[in-house]
């Protein structure tokens, strides 16, 4: 994600440590997508990229305004396109061919996101994505990560225009710095205000308006340096100390804070952006430790190729490991293949095009040769470019033919049956709820009171009045659940978020008069738990048993954190028990559909049996 100058290289000093910062950022993202345990918030690497981009772009624009009193918008935008687009197109063409041959589910998802990645509106496509839950099952789209490139492209489109408006206020640059502060504060506040754990966080996470503050933080640093030269006025040792502490703090956030924590939306991203600003300030001191560390050759090498690494790593991880937690040898293979593709892209695509190879070749082909040597050079150039153009067109046409003619597939093999199951489950639950309202099943006498010792296991389970609140995974188990828990209720819904369980519980207690023996919490596949568990426990009181079904969702980043939270909460809270579906289903591929999450009939019975054993253990004892 290395910015290119709009003016000569000699006019803007190269900050070597910035490439090292890019390396740190892309390694955080890579570790996060590899599901390494020390990178729980590795996506903060994207935040660092945003700050760096905002800083460098603003620095370039300010220098151009000082030299020319304006901004050549056409030249600026052409260079941004030249920097971003060729590498994206190369990656997408390779992805289309590879996924069409080896993974039709990823191929299908890549085709859906193709144009949004090329034309840099992927973030808004994800916000307004209308793809059905079942079609979206399994691994994410291999182009999902293009959301951040879309935000940068949109920033490049709008920010120079805004800056250009203020070129006439050259002597009042402080005005624009003030406006940048206001815009950054508004963006950060919008993220805080719009975040609702009960809803899909895509609007907040992917929105240009809610993520612009990181870019603006970087831009503000460039403006302050231009106004007061803060990078020169602060003592080097002080800047270096602050930078080191900021880097350590950022690493701590990456390791400790969960990637979907409410904290990140309630100021955490702002803190990370500010820490990145302090690190950029520090690496500009050539004598400081932080600059020397980030100027190490391996980090510089990675940083220079960070754009390619970012582009290639996610499709490769999904192609080789399906985005799941994998063996160490496969992780090494994914990293090496990512590095190789990024290096090839950097050497043969990004660097030549960024340095004007296309323009130089066009100039040679248009030139009138004066000598035989010039004529031979022109012929060689024409032949070489004809081969390159023909090859590029052939590959592009082949990729488009794949998009048009290769059959699409989804991660779920029997969507129609699953939709029918959802309809049947809704009808059964509606009938149960209606009886509950009429008082037929809503008496205060519970199934565990009188005569418990005289009941068989089947009779005890049939008499219990449990409320299961679940998503589409538990929906697959509806029939098997009612076979065992005849007097209980299973309220399930496709795509249900964990936070919704609070309102659902309230509706059964307050509106339907439910006063049963316990609650089975079978959520957590569709998003983080946030503060659901303590809130639900408080609603239920301290005595009624609460069962927490662990999550089996290998493609989702929150699988591990949700399961850890459930186990910890059960250990620390009375009358709260774990139904460990994650452990019980380990290695049982025959229980699951192709997405590794939704259940086949055999898996549905196993899920029911897992609940049955945990419930019996509690109520018999």
Q: Kindly state the helix (H) or strand (E) to which residue 195 belongs, with its residue range.
A: none
Residue 26 in domain = yes
In this prediction, residue 435 carries a pLDDT of 75
Higher pLDDT, 412 or 301: 301
Number of domains in the chain: 3
Nearest to 488 by CA among 429, 549, 543: 429
- Across 57-61, 166-170, 303-307, least confident range: 166-170
| Residues 490, 610 within the same domain | yes
Contact by Cβ (8 Å): 59, 12: yes
Q: Which of 411, 427, 449 represents a domain boundary (last residue)?
A: 411
pLDDT tier for residue 506 given thresholds of 50, 70 and 90: very high
Most confident of 133-137, 379-383, 527-531: 527-531
Mean pLDDT of the chain: 87
Contact by Cβ (8 Å): 514, 544: no
Q: What is the pTM of this model?
A: 0.87
In this prediction, residue 131 carries a pLDDT of 57
- What is the per-residue pLDDT across 133-158, written as a single tens digit (0 to 9) for each? 555 666 789 999 999 999 999 999 99
* Structural domain boundaries, residue 485: 415-620
pLDDT tier for residue 12 given thresholds of 50, 70 and 90: low
Residue 234 predicted with pLDDT over 70: yes
User: Residue range 492-507: average pLDDT?
Assistant: 89
Residue 56 in domain = yes
Residue 235 predicted with pLDDT over 50: yes
| Residues 384, 475 within the same domain | no
Residue with tokens 């293009």: 146
| Residues 299, 428 within the same domain | no
| Residues 479, 567 within the same domain | yes
Helices (H) and strands (E) in the chain, counts: 29, 5
**SS3 per-residue string spanning 298-315:** HHHHHHHCHHHHHHHHHH
Percentage of the chain beyond pLDDT 70 is 92
pLDDT tier for residue 84 given thresholds of 50, 70 and 90: very high
Q: Is 347 a catalytic residue?
A: no
Higher pLDDT, 71 or 614: 614
| Residues 505, 393 within the same domain | no
In this prediction, residue 441 carries a pLDDT of 52
- State how far the Cα of 262 lies from the Cα of 316, in Å rounded to an integer: 30
* Catalytic-role residue among 19, 517, 580, 595: 595
CA angle 220, 14, 225 (to 5 degrees): 25
Q: Is 99 a catalytic residue?
A: no
CATH for 508: 3.40.50.1110
* Ordered strands of the 489-492 beta sheet: 489-492, 466-470, 518-522, 546-549, 576-579
Contact by Cβ (8 Å): 512, 545: no
Residue 381, CB half-sphere, CA atoms under 13 Å: how many? 18
In this prediction, residue 2 carries a pLDDT of 46
| Residues 404, 550 within the same domain | no
Distance of CA 131 to the CA centre of its chain: 17
**Would you list the DSSP string of 103-166?**
-HHHHHHHHHHHHHHHTT-HHHHHHT----TTTT-SSPPTTGGGHHHHHHHHHHHHHHHHHHHG
Residue with tokens 């490439």: 19
Contact by Cβ (8 Å): 364, 377: yes
Higher pLDDT, 377 or 549: 549
User: Residue range 98-113: average pLDDT?
Assistant: 93
Q: How many CB atoms lie within 10 A of CB 172?
A: 11
Nearest to 167 by CA among 10, 286, 62: 62
Residue 4 in domain = no
In this prediction, residue 4 carries a pLDDT of 42
pLDDT tier for residue 444 given thresholds of 50, 70 and 90: very low
Nearest to 234 by CA among 269, 277, 190: 277
Q: Kindly state the helix (H) or strand (E) to which residue 519 belongs, with its residue range.
A: strand 518-522
| Residues 451, 385 within the same domain | no
Query: Is 621 strand, coil or helix?
Result: coil
Contact by Cβ (8 Å): 289, 241: no
Q: Which of 387, 411, 435 represents a domain boundary (last residue)?
A: 411
In this prediction, residue 228 carries a pLDDT of 84
Q: How many CB atoms lie within 10 A of CB 429?
A: 19
| Residues 328, 405 within the same domain | no
* Catalytic-role residue among 214, 306, 345, 472: 472
User: Residue range 273-300: average pLDDT?
Assistant: 94
| Residues 325, 368 within the same domain | no
Q: Kindly state the helix (H) or strand (E) to which residue 440 belongs, with its residue range.
A: none
Higher pLDDT, 458 or 25: 25
| Residues 182, 35 within the same domain | yes
Residue 3 in domain = no
In this prediction, residue 449 carries a pLDDT of 47
Residue 1 in domain = no
CA distances from 121 to 128, 143, 154, 206 (A): 11, 12, 8, 10
Nearest to 11 by CA among 79, 65, 64, 72: 64
Higher pLDDT, 23 or 288: 23
User: Residue range 545-553: average pLDDT?
Assistant: 94
Residue 2 in domain = no
Most confident of 80-84, 202-206, 284-288, 343-347: 343-347
| Residues 227, 249 within the same domain | yes
Residue 89 predicted with pLDDT over 70: yes
- Would you mind telling me the total number of residues written for the chain in this entry? 621
Residue 530 predicted with pLDDT over 80: yes
Residue with tokens 């500010």: 274
Q: Is 507 a catalytic residue?
A: no
Residue 593 predicted with pLDDT over 50: yes
| Residues 420, 394 within the same domain | no
User: Residue range 348-361: average pLDDT?
Assistant: 82
Residue 208 in domain = yes
B/e letters for 133-170, b = 16+ CB within 10 Å, e = fewer, are ebbbbbbbbbbbbbbbbbbbbbbbeebbeebbeebeee
Ramachandran area for residue 442 (φ above 0: left; ψ -120 to 50: alpha; else beta): alpha
In this prediction, residue 442 carries a pLDDT of 44
Q: Which of 390, 411, 432 represents a domain boundary (last residue)?
A: 411
In this prediction, residue 476 carries a pLDDT of 84
């Amino acid at each position: 994600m290395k910015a290119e100058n709009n003016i000569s290289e000699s006019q803007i000093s190269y900050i070597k440590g910035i490439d090292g910062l890019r390396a740190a950022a892309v390694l955080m993202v890579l570790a996060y997508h590899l599901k390494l345990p020390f990178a729980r918030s590795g996506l903060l690497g994207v935040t660092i990229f945003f700050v760096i981009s905002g800083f460098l772009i603003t620095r370039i624009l300010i220098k151009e305004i000082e030299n020319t009193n304006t901004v050549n918008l056409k030249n600026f935008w052409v260079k941004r396109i030249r920097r971003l687009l060729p590498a994206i197109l190369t990656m997408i063409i390779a992805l289309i061919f590879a996924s069409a041959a080896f993974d039709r589910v990823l191929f299908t998802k890549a085709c859906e996101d193709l144009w949004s990645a090329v034309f840099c509106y992927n973030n808004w496509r994800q916000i307004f994505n209308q793809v059905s839950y079942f079609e979206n099952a399994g691994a994410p789209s291999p182009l999902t990560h293009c959301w951040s490139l879309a935000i940068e492209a949109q920033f490049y489109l709008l920010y120079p225009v805004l800056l250009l408006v203020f070129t006439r206020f050259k002597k009042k640059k402080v005005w624009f710095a003030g406006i940048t502060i206001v815009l950054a504060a508004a963006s950060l506040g919008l993220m805080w205000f719009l975040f609702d754990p009960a809803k899909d966080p895509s609007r907040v996470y992917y929105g240009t308006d809610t993520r612009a503050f990181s870019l603006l933080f970087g831009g503000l640093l460039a403006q302050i340096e231009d106004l007061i030269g803060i990078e020169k006025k602060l003592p080097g040792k002080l800047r270096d100390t602050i930078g080191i502490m900021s880097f350590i703090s950022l690493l701590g956030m990456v390791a400790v804070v969960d990637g979907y924590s409410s904290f990140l939306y309630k100021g955490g991203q702002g803190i990370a952006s500010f820490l990145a600003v302090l690190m950029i300030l520090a690496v500009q001191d050539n004598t400081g430790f932080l600059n020397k560390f980030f100027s190490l050759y391996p980090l510089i090498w990675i940083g220079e190729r960070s754009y390619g690494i970012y582009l290639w790593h996610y499709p490769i991880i999904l192609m080789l490991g399906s985005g799941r937690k994998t063996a160490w040898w496969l992780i090494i293979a994914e990293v090496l293949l990512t590095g190789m593709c990024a290096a090839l892209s950097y050497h043969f695509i990004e660097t030549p095009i960024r340095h004007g190879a296309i323009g130089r070749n066009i100039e040679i082909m248009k030139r009138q040769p004066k000598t035989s040597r010039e004529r031979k050079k022109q012929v060689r150039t024409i032949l070489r470019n004809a081969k390159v153009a023909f090859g590029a067109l052939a590959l592009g046409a082949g990729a488009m033919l794949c998009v048009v003619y290769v059959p699409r597939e989804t991660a779920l093999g029997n969507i129609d049956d699953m939709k029918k199951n959802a309809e049947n489950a809704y009808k059964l639950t509606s009938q149960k709820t209606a009886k509950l309202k009429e008082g037929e099943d809503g008496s205060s006498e519970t199934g565990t009171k009188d005569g418990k010792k005289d009941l068989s296991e089947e009779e005890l389970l049939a008499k219990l009045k449990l409320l299961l609140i679940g998503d589409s995974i538990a929906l697959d188990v509806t029939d098997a659940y009612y076979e065992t828990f005849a007097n209980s209720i299973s309220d399930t819904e496709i795509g249900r978020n964990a936070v919704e369980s609070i309102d659902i519980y309230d509706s059964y207690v307050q509106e339907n008069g439910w006063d049963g023996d316990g609650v089975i919490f079978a959520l957590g596949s569709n998003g983080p738990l946030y503060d659901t568990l303590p809130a639900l426990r408080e609603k239920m009181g301290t005595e009624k048993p609460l069962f927490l079904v662990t999550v089996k969702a290998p493609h989702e980043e929150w699988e591990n954190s949700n399961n850890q939270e459930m186990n910890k909460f059960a250990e620390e809270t009375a009358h709260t028990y774990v139904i460990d579906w994650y452990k019980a289903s380990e290695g049982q591929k025959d229980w699951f559909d192709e997405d590794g999450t939704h259940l086949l009939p055999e898996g549905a019975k196993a899920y029911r049996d897992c609940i049955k054993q945990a419930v019996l253990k509690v109520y018999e004892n």
